[in-house]
């Protein structure tokens, strides 16, 4: 990789447009840029591409920045500093906001005017209706829908007409560049026609603004999704026209559905906020997204963000599409939850309890978390699975009856269980004590006939953790209370 690094070292940028919720595709692009910068000791820059003022939203930008901070993406500079004599002078505050394209109008204007003066760009006066008609005609003939060049040779504005856009004067050449992921890539520029680079001098479009910004910010590598591959030759043409250095390009593989079709809107447009609200851990999400297109050297699949920085190798990014598998994401999240220290997991679960107006004491919560830690796939699932710990759900009395046992036998068994617990006054009692108290009843009536009604009495559910563990977590008082309530229920069936 050393031969590919420019004189200022590795400098990459994540440049989202704040026109919608931040979703998994954008997060993966940010992740690969961030990992590359951190693994190479380089700089990661955040730049908001908001030249589309009608569609850009401050709300989406704020959401994106909040999510970046939640994920742990830090960026290294911003508009509070500048390059001075070849060196970056840092902000005295030590922190940065992102760059904004809409604050760089003068820089774009100067470059656009230079292109026009040098005859490499020109004003186009063609009406939209005429261009649409020309496009349809070309498409009907199976030809590339490129601009016909009607205004290319004009030296002054046609009488009574106003310039509609500024076009780049595309040379009829072949553009070839080396993509770090795809190798040599070729495009025939003749097929583009003279493409639009600005609506007016102070209002550039994406392909022009990104070229000016990448040069001004000394970007060494442009790492982005495959959908931007067709933009690259146009940007290279602009770079050459402006006598700018060309960055090194790398286009990440598409994210596909399990059947290798285009990822459905359900996932492709799902806001990252939704994953946070469902209780996915940042490290699990980043672990999952890193594996969408990148393969570690061994068979290992579980990585923390620190592990990813250490292991990341750009040469191991694949060319083919990456499969989005939600089951894999849930599995990874479960594994990361299991790996959390108990106190850290409690801290992460607590906000989900607050949403449900649940506020158990710390010791009781610790017992509940210990029981559910290996069963939950998301933090939100803890509240769903463990709800019965806090509030016993309604259940049918018939659920208390084990297989071929009778209602009367179940009632008598529950009464014996309650009697065995009567002498307990401590709020918390351990599993071993509980089993010792129940063992005579189990020996007399059978394991299923005892533990099944106890499970239902304590949880109100058919599936739950071991009832002895539930009883230990609930404590003696609550356990006796729930068994007593179960007896009242079963009596209604006699």
**Sign of the torsion formed by the C-alpha atoms of 330, 333, 339 and 341:** negative
Pair 86, 48: CB distance under 8 Å: no
Report the pLDDT value the prediction gives residue 52, as an integer from 0 to 100.
Answer: 78
pLDDT tens, residue order, the chain (494 aa): 333 334 568 999 999 988 888 888 999 999 999 999 999 999 999 999 987 777 888 888 888 989 999 999 988 877 765 444 445 455 444 456 788 888 889 999 999 999 999 999 999 999 989 898 998 998 888 888 889 899 998 988 898 898 999 999 999 999 999 999 999 999 999 999 999 999 988 889 999 999 999 999 999 999 999 999 999 999 999 999 999 999 999 999 999 888 888 776 666 667 888 999 999 999 999 999 999 999 998 889 999 999 999 999 999 999 999 999 999 999 999 999 999 999 999 999 999 999 988 888 888 899 899 999 999 999 999 998 888 999 999 999 999 999 989 999 999 999 999 999 887 666 557 888 899 999 999 999 999 999 999 999 999 998 889 999 999 999 898 999 999 999 999 999 87
Report the pLDDT value the prediction gives residue 81, as an integer from 0 to 100.
Answer: 53
Report the pLDDT value the prediction gives residue 5, as an integer from 0 to 100.
Answer: 37
The model scores a pTM over 0.85: yes
Beta strand 174-179 with 183-188: parallel, antiparallel or unpaired?
antiparallel
User: What is the C-alpha end-to-end distance of the chain, expressed in Å?
Assistant: 79
Report the pLDDT value the prediction gives residue 268, as an integer from 0 to 100.
Answer: 65
Contacts of 337 (CB under 8 A, 6+ apart): 281, 284, 345, 373, 376, 377, 378, 379
User: Catalytic residue positions?
Assistant: 265
Contacts of 96 (CB under 8 A, 6+ apart): 46, 75, 76, 77, 78, 79, 80, 81
Report the pLDDT value the prediction gives residue 89, as an integer from 0 to 100.
Answer: 53
Report the pLDDT value the prediction gives residue 86, as an integer from 0 to 100.
Answer: 47
């Amino acid at each position: 990789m050393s031969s590919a690094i420019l004189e200022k070292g590795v400098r990459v940028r994540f440049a989202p447009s704040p026109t919608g919720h931040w979703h998994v595709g954008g997060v993966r692009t940010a992740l690969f840029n961030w990992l590359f910068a951190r693994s190479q000791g380089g700089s990661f820059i955040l730049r908001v591409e908001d030249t589309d003022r009608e569609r850009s939203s401050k709300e989406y930008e704020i959401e994106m920045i909040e999510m970046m901070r939640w994920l742990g993406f830090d960026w290294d500079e911003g508009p509070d500093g500048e390059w001075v004599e070849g060196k970056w002078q840092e902000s005295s505050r030590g922190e940065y906001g992102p760059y904004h394209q809409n604050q760089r109008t003068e820089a774009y204007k100067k470059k656009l005017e230079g292109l026009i003066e040098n005859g490499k760009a020109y004003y186009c006066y063609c009406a939209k209706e005429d261009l649409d008609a020309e496009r349809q005609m070309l498409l009907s003939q199976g030809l590339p829908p490129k601009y016909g060049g009607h205004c290319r040779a004009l030296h002054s504005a046609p009488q009574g007409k106003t310039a509609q856009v500024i076009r780049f004067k595309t040379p009829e050449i072949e553009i070839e560049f080396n993509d770090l992921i795809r190798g040599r890539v070729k495009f025939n520029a003749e097929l583009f026609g003279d493409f639009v680079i600005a609506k007016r001098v102070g209002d550039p479009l994406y392909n022009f603004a990104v070229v000016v910004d990448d040069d001004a910010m000394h970007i060494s590598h442009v790492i982005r999704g495959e959908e931007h591959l067709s933009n690259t030759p146009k940007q290279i043409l602009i770079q050459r026209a402006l006598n700018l250095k060309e960055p090194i390009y790398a286009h990440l593989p598409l994210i596909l559905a399990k059947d290798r079709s285009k990822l459905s809107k359900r996932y492709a447009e799902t806001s990252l906020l939704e994953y946070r609200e469902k209780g996915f851990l940042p490290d699990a999400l980043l672990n999952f997204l890193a594996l969408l297109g990148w393969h570690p050297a061994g068979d290992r699949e579980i990585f923390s963000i620190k592990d990813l920085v250490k292991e990341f190798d750009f040469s191991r990014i694949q060319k083919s599409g990456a499969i989005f598998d939600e089951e894999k994401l849930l599995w990874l999240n479960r594994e990361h939850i299991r790996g959390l220290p108990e106190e850290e997991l409690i801290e992460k679960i607590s906000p989900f309890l607050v949403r449900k107006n649940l506020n158990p004491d710390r010791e009781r919560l610790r017992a509940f978390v210990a029981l559910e830690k290996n069963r939950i796939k998301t933090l939100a699932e803890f509240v769903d699975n463990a709800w019965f710990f806090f509030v016993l759900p309604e259940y049918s009395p018939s659920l208390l009856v084990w297989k071929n046992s009778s209602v009367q036998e179940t009632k008598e068994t529950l009464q014996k269980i309650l009697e065995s617990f009567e002498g307990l006054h401590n709020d918390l009692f351990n599993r071993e004590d509980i089993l010792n108290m129940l063992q005579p009843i189990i020996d007399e009536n059978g394991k299923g006939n005892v533990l099944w009604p106890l499970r239902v009495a304590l949880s109100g559910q058919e599936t739950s953790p071991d009832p002895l563990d539930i009883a230990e977590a609930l404590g003696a008082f609550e356990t006796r209370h729930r068994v007593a309530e179960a007896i009242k229920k079963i009596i209604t069936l006699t």
